[in-house]
Amino acid sequence: MQLKRVVVTGLGALTPIGNNIEEYWNALVNGVSGAAPITYFDAAKFKTRFACELKDFTVTDFINRKDARKMDKFAQDAMVASDEAIADSSLDLEKINKFRVGVIWGAGIGGLETFQNEAINFGAGDGTPRFNPFFIPKMIADIAPGNISIKNGFMGPNYTTVSACASSANAMIDALNYIRLGTCDIVVTGGSEAAVAIAGVGGFNAMHALSTRNESPETASRPFDSERDGFVLGEGAGAIILEEYEHAKARGAKIYAEVIGGGMSSDAYHMTAPHPEGIGVIAVMKNCLENAGIKPEDVDHINTHGTSTPLGDVAELKAISKVFGDHAKNININSTKSMTGHLLGAAGAIESIAAILAMKHSIVPPTINHVHVDENINPDLNLTLNTPQKRDIKVAMSNTFGFGGHNAVSYTHLTLPTICSV
C-alpha cells in the first residue's frame, strides 16, 4: 500500500506569550518570557507563586458567554486555537467531505479546574450532593475535540489522546497515520491544557517538580542551565490542520510543511523520572528517523522537551548525542519552554508549531535564561542560547516526553516546504 503524503495547511496558537500565531512567533524570536506571579488564585502559601498564564485574553471575545460557561478552560482554549487554524487553512466548510474530516486532540489532564471547584463546593456544603449538570461534560478530556466537531460538523474520527506531556504529540502522530492510510482527508489536531489552578500548582509542588524561583519568575524556566530547579507551569493550546497532500493541492491550499514521520516509545522505568541513560528517548528518536525514512545527518533542528528539570535535560541531551553522533553538534537545538513554560498535554502542539515556523522563517528561536554552564552537558552542542540564530531548516524535529515514560517525536520537512514530524 502506498502511504499518502501529509502536509500542514493551518496553524492556531493560544499561549502565555501570544494569543495567536503572529504574536506567538514574534515573542519566540524576541526571547520573551511568559512567566509572572499567579493571578488566578491566592498563591501566597504555595511553594511556587508564579506560572505562565494567558495574558490579555477574554474568552467571551471568542465564545459567547452561555457556551463558554459549559466548558472548562482547556476546552475553551481548544476552541479558540482550532478556530484560528481552520481560518488559517482557508478550508471551505461547505465544499469539503465532513465525513472525512477528523478531530484528534491531546490533553494530559482535561478539566482539572472544573473537578477542583466542584470538589471544593461539595466539601464546603453539608453533604448534600449539589453538582453542576455540566460537571462531567466539562471535565472529561474528550470534550475538546467533541466541541470542535460539533461546531464545524466534522464527522470523521474524533477522540483525545492522554499520555501526560506527550499527549498532543501522540494526537498528531495518530492524525498523521489516519491520513497516510487514507481514512481521512483532513484532521484538526493539537492539544490544550489549563492546569494553572490550585490543584495543578499544589499537586506539582508536592512532587517537587516546579521551580520555586519566586524572586525572579521571568528567569525561572532555564533549560540546560546548571541552576535550573524545575519546570514552570504553562497553559494554552496549539492547533494544526493536517491534510492529505493531493487534497490540499487540489484546493490550492497554502502549505507550511510536510509531516514525514513520527515515533513513539516507553521508558518502562519510573512514574515520573526519566531513565538516566535515556534509553526510551533514544528509542523514540530512532523510531522516528526510521518512520520518516531519513538519516540522522538530515536533521537540522530539534525543539527539545527541555523542561528545565535537573534530570530530564541531561538525559535528553545525552540521548541526542547518542542518536545523532558527530552530527549532533551541527544541529540547532533549543527549548521554547524557556519562554512558554510547560503546557503539559499541549506542549507537543505548540512546540511543533514553533518548529514549523522556524522552518518557514529560517530562524531558530533561542533558549533563554541560560547563565551557568552545566558540566554534565556536552559543550559541543549548539543549544541556541539566549539569541535566535538564522538557519535554513529542511528537517525539524520536536521531542515530547510524559510522566509514565511516554515518549513521542515528530519530524517536519520543508520540501513542500518541509514536513514536521512528531
Strands 389-390 and 332-334 come out as unpaired
Nearest to 101 by CA among 112, 109, 89, 113: 89
What cell was used for 334? 533549543
Strand ranges in 234-309 using DSSP code E only, listed in sequence order: 236-244, 257-266, 301-303
Q: Which residues make beta-bridge pairs with 239?
A: 12, 190
Point out the catalytic residue in the list 247, 275, 301, 305.
305
Distance CA(382)–CA(330), nearest Å, equals: 7
Contact 379, 53 (CB under 8 A): no
- Positive or negative, the CA dihedral 371, 372, 373, 376 is negative
Nearest to 299 by CA among 277, 338, 329: 329
Q: Which residues make beta-bridge pairs with 171?
A: none
165 as an active site residue: the answer is: yes
CB atoms within 10 A of CB 61: 8
Round the CA-based radius of gyration of the chain to a whole number and report it.
Answer: 20
413 as an active site residue: the answer is: no
Point out the catalytic residue in the list 247, 275, 301, 342.
342
Contact 235, 54 (CB under 8 A): yes
Strand ranges in 170-235 using DSSP code E only, listed in sequence order: 186-193
Point out the catalytic residue in the list 52, 165, 184, 420.
165
372 as an active site residue: the answer is: no
Active-site amino acid positions = 165, 305, 342
